[in-house]
């Protein structure tokens, strides 16, 4: 998929929000500035979290409890090369939907069923590739693609 503005990327997140269920896991890969956090902020609007999503780079985990579904936003960027036991398991496949930026840094915590998203800069546009893994991942992929 291609988005041509920040608003379009957020709108895609808002669309996904309607399909989310407890336990869903969405992985977001792509360089700094690719639009991962922007996408999650669209999801938060869709879930009516009532709060702006800020990049959790310096927090690793941010929880949003005021929406129609708990939303957990993990940014594993700062965990690169570290092997820390942080208890993030509780939030992954927990009672809400969990979004993970830089999943490659917490590989051992990634569940079998998930929606993988890859974001690429192309000028002012973003190319967004999505791939569902496992039964639930495939369902979410179809829903987001509108199939
Ligand atoms: P990441 O979390 O991947 O590091 P952010 O979402 O924090 O990226 O930042 C993306 C930046 O790119 C924002 O400043 C946003 O305004 C800008 N931007 C420009 N075009 C787009 C687009 N089509 N989709 C998302 N963000 C965009
Ligand atoms: Mg980010």
Strand runs (DSSP E) across the chain, as ranges?
A: 2-3, 25-29, 61-64, 71-75, 97-101, 114-122, 125-133
Mean pLDDT of successive 10-residue stretches along the chain, which has 147 residues: 96 97 98 96 97 80 96 93 82 96 94 98 93 98 91
The domain segmentation of the chain, as residue ranges, is: 2-145
Task: Choose one of 2, 38, 120 to mutate for the ligand 1 pocket test, by most ligand atoms within 8 angstroms of C-beta.
Answer: 38
Predicted pLDDT at 81: 75
Task: State residue 21's pLDDT score.
Answer: 98
Bridge partners of residue 97, in order along the sequence: 71
Are 47 and 71 in contact, with CB atoms under 8 Å apart? yes
Question: Which two tokens mark 53?
Answer: 């999503």
| Residue located nearest, by CA, to atom 19 of ligand 1 | 6
**103: its two tokens:** 């999943």
For domain 2-145, say whether CATH 3.40.50.261 is its number: no
- Assess whether the C-beta atom of 5 lies below 6 angstroms from ligand 1: yes
pLDDT at 86: 81
Q: What pLDDT score was predicted for residue 75?
A: 94
User: Looking at ligand 1, which residue's alpha carbon is closest to its atom 15?
Assistant: 6
Give the number of whichever ligand sits closest to the CA of residue 36: 1
pLDDT at position 57, please? 64
In this structure, are residues 52 and 67 in contact, taking their beta carbons and an 8 Å threshold?
Answer: no
For residue 12, the model assigns a pLDDT of 97
Q: Has this prediction a pTM greater than 0.75?
A: yes
- Residue 101 confidence (pLDDT): 96
Rounded distance, CA 85 to CA 101, Å?
A: 18
> Ligand nearest 75 Cα, by number?
2
Query: Which structure tokens are listed for 52?
Result: 């702006």
Confidence at residue 56, expressed as pLDDT on a 0 to 100 scale: 66
């Amino acid at each position: 998929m291609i988005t041509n503005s920040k608003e379009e990327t957020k709108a895609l997140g808002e669309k996904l929000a309607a399909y989310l269920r407890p336990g869903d896991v969405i992985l977001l890969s792509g360089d700094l500035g690719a639009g991962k956090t922007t996408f999650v902020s669209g999801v938060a609007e869709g879930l009516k979290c009532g709060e702006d999503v800020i990049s959790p780079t310096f927090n690793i985990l941010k929880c949003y409890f005021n929406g129609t579904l708990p939303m957990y936003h993990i940014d594993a960027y700062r965990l690169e090369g570290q092997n820390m036991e942080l208890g993030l398991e509780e939030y992954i496949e927990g009672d809400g939907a969990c979004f993970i930026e830089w999943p490659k840094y917490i590989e051992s915590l990634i569940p079998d069923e998930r929606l993988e998203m890859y974001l690429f800069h192309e000028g002012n546009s973003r190319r967004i590739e999505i791939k569902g893994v496992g039964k639930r991942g495939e369902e979410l992929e179809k829903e987001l693609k509108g199939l």
